[in-house]
Amino acid sequence: MTVQTKILTYQNYINGEWVESSSQTAQKSINPANKNEIVGYIQNSTEDDVNLAVAAAKQAYKNWRKLGAVARGNYLYKIAEIIEKRQNEIAETLTREMGKPLAEAKGETARGIAILRYYAAEGMRKTGDVIPASDSRALMYTDRVPLGVVGIITPWNFPVAIPIWKMAPALIYGNTVVIKPASEAAVTAAKIIECINDAGLPKGVVNFVTGKGSIVGGRIIEHSDVNGITFTGSNTIGKEVAQKAVARGAKYQLEMGGKNPIIIADDADLEKAVDATISGGFSSTGQKCTATSRVIIHEKVYDDFKRMLIEKTKALTVGNGLDPNSKITPSVSEAQLNTVLSYIEKGKSEGATLLLGGKRPEDAGLENGFYVEPTIFENVHSEMTIGQEEIFGPVLALMKVTSIEEALHLANDVSFGLSASIFTKNIDHMFDFIDEINAGLVRVNYETAGVELQAPFGGMKDSSSGSREQGEAAKEFFTSIKTVFVKP
Ligand SMILES: NC(=O)C1=CN([C@@H]2O[C@H](COP(=O)(O)OP(=O)(O)OC[C@H]3O[C@@H](n4cnc5c(N)ncnc54)[C@H](OP(=O)(O)O)[C@@H]3O)[C@@H](O)[C@H]2O)C=CC1
Ligand SMILES: O=C(O)CCC(=O)C(=O)O
């Protein structure tokens, strides 16, 4: 395990230069496993800094667009290669700054590299179709054109993968970008920008501004030269992004929360279902929008499932993500920890039964970290707060049902619709679930969490703005269609 001695200050990256914010102040980013450890300092940027970044992106747009997708793809390959060389160091920073287990951080960094290569190759794929014109002597076809300057606002839970899965498609289709990463994980994001700088992209194509969400993010959303905004984060801020974007006619895309159910049918393979529930609910300490939150179990297997779940959960070690034995690592911040603890209190006060966990661990060595024990409630009902709201922590709500119909009803009985899973061997139940569940990601005999970079990702209802990210679907947001008619 590397011990970092020097604490660095990370600057904004505007028009190809590393620059200090006009505020000339910086804020610390700390390690959630030890609040006394500073991972680095990031700029406290102002609206003026955002204005400079947007002006640089606008200036760079013309040539970047004209460069062509194949040449743009070659830059993405180069970035992937540079990140690959720094993979371990970036993953370790991710764990130190955001808290997730190092193995997950390494997996995320590898995913970022794969996403860059996927979109680099996209530069050689078709951008339109030839469509028969009513005039047989005319040529009619579609083409995809970039939006212009795209504003990117990202959360802290995937500080490598999410910035990359938004930047890579934006860039390959010819847009230039201004990115504002989450403050809690901005040092990790800065390291990705260092790799972009080292790949030699033309000045102004990628601009990076850190600082307070309401100031930096707020200005990106309102700037009239930002043509599109892509956001991942909370519903509250997502709705604000949407309203402001609509008010000035900018294109926008939102990926927000989830309250993801896993249904355990009476014929489920319980061993596999328990493992999927633990992995889906507790990986990254439940801080995934696809995390399993509600476990809907048929009464015939309820007691066995519950016993096995509790047994395996008790065996999970709580600790620092740099320790390979740690499975439950800290919440990202004190504020997030307090949010999780307050949901646990609400669960108890609204009548749910606490089966396991529910508090901060008392083990020596964990007192300076934002840890909470893996927590399991039962007797949870849809009308309870913990049956409805996204917790973003290691908390599972068990709900007992008497039929698959009841399970499906409960699964859909929330305002979110991101991911959902069923464990069953019954093919009718599988297809009823696939047909009736209101979710963007539908899993059969597999956990709710995790996404495949080559497939569309997004949710229904309050989980997203209806658009999809990743895979080929990214094209829909980052481009506009031109229908061309040519008559000789
Ligand atoms: N869908 C998902 O993957 C995620 C969901 N969440 C949910 O949101 C809850 C709160 O997390 P939190 O980090 O506060 O999420 P936020 O929605 O506040 O943050 C997401 C991003 O938006 C920025 N931001 C904050 N306020 C504004 C604003 N007024 N205008 C523009 N941008 C803004 C943040 O900047 P800054 O970091 O500087 O505040 C960050 O970059 C979590 O408990 C979880 O339920 C959170 C993260 C990811
Ligand atoms: O589950 C994943 O890998 C991605 C989830 C995600 O996009 C998120 O939590 O914001």
C-alpha distances in Å from residue 357, one per residue of 178, 295, 319, 375, 430: 42, 17, 15, 4, 33
Q: What is the mean pLDDT of residues 223-251?
A: 98
Q: How confident is residue 4, by pLDDT bands cut at 50, 70 and 90?
A: low
Q: Counting atoms of ligand 1 from 1, which one is nearest the CA of 288?
A: 3
Distances (CA, A) of 417 to 193, 209, 388, 435: 33, 32, 11, 14
The two beta strands, 12-14 and 9-10, are: unpaired
Question: Out of 255, 373, 378, 389, which one is annotated catalytic?
Answer: 255
pLDDT > 90? residue 144: yes
For the chain, the structural domain boundaries read 2-256+464-486, 260-452
Closest ligand 1 atom number to CA of residue 154? 41
What is residue 333's DSSP assignment?
Answer: S
Question: Does 59 have pLDDT greater than 50?
Answer: yes
Residue nearest to atom 48 of ligand 1 (CA): 233
Give residues with Cβ within 8 angstroms of 434, minimum separation 6. Answer: 442, 444
pTM: 0.97
Rounded-to-integer distance, Cα 333 and Cα 321, Å: 14
Exposed / middle / buried, residue 311 (Cβ in 10 Å: 0-12, 13-18, 19+): exposed
- Amino acid code (one letter) for 191: K
Contact criterion met (CB below 8 Å) for 370 and 336: yes
Residue 397 CA to residue 382 CA, distance in Å, equals 10
Q: Among residues of the chain, what percentage have pLDDT more than 90?
A: 99
Q: Would you say 10 and 30 are in contact if contact means Cβ atoms under 8 Å apart?
A: no
Instruction: Compute the distance from residue 182 Cα to the ligand 1 centre, in Å.
Output: 7
The CATH number corresponding to 260-452 among 3.40.50.300, 3.40.309.10, 3.40.640.10, 2.130.10.10 equals: 3.40.309.10
- CATH fold of the domain at 2-256+464-486: Aldehyde Dehydrogenase; Chain A, domain 1 (3.40.605)
- Report the pLDDT value the prediction gives residue 1, as an integer from 0 to 100: 45
The atom of ligand 1 lying closest to the CA of 237 is 17
Distance CA 211, CA 49 (A): 10
Going from the C-alpha of 188 to that of each of 325, 392, 460, the distances in angstroms are: 23, 20, 30
Q: What is the mean pLDDT of residues 73-98?
A: 98
Ligand 2 pocket list (CB less than 6 A):
155, 157-158, 232, 288-290, 449-451
pLDDT in tens, 333-392: 999 999 999 999 999 999 999 999 999 999 999 999 999 999 999 999 999 999 999 999
Residues 6 or more apart in contact with residue 134 via CB below 8 angstroms: none
For residue 164, which phi and psi values (nearest 5 degrees)? Answer: -70, -40
| Residues 397/377, Cβ–Cβ less than 8 Å | yes
Q: What percent of the chain has pLDDT over 70?
A: 99
And the tokens for 110?
């590898």
How many angstroms does the Cα of residue 467 sit away from the middle of ligand 2?
Answer: 15
pLDDT number for residue 193: 98
DSSP state of 470: S
Residues ≥6 apart with Cβ < 8 Å to 199: 75, 78, 79, 82
The span from the CA of 111 to the CA of 104, in Å, is 10
What is the distance between the alpha carbons of residues 59 and 47, in angstroms, rounded to a whole number?
A: 18
Question: Does ipTM exceed 0.90?
Answer: yes
Mutating to test ligand 2, I would choose from 115, 284, 288, 392 the residue with most ligand atoms within 8 A of its C-beta, which is 288
* In the predicted structure, residue 93 carries a pLDDT above the cut 80: yes
Contact 336, 369 (CB under 8 A): no
- Give the DSSP letter of residue 473: G
Q: How many CA atoms lie within 13 A of 254 on its CB side?
A: 26
Which residue has a Cα nearest atom 13 of ligand 1? 155
Q: Please check the confidence at residue 277 and state whether its pLDDT lies above 60.
A: yes
Interval between CA 161 and ligand 2 midpoint (Å): 9
- How many residues does this entry show for the chain? 488
SS (H, E, C) 76-135: HHHHHHHHHHCHHHHHHHHHHHHCCCHHHHHHHHHHHHHHHHHHHHHCCCCCCCECCCCC
In this predicted structure, what is the pLDDT of residue 6? Answer: 83
pLDDT score of 5 more than 80: no
- Whole-angstrom distance, CA of residue 357 vs CA of residue 391: 15
Mean pLDDT of the chain: 97
Name the residue at shortest CA distance from atom 1 of ligand 2.
450
Active-site residue flag, 406: no
Contacts of 78 (CB under 8 A, 6+ apart): 199, 200
User: Does residue 2 have a pLDDT over 60?
Assistant: no
Residues with CB under 6 Å of ligand 1 are 153-157, 180, 182-184, 212-214, 217-218, 221, 232-234, 237, 240, 255-257, 289, 336, 339, 390, 392
The helix (run of H) or strand (run of E) holding residue 462 is none
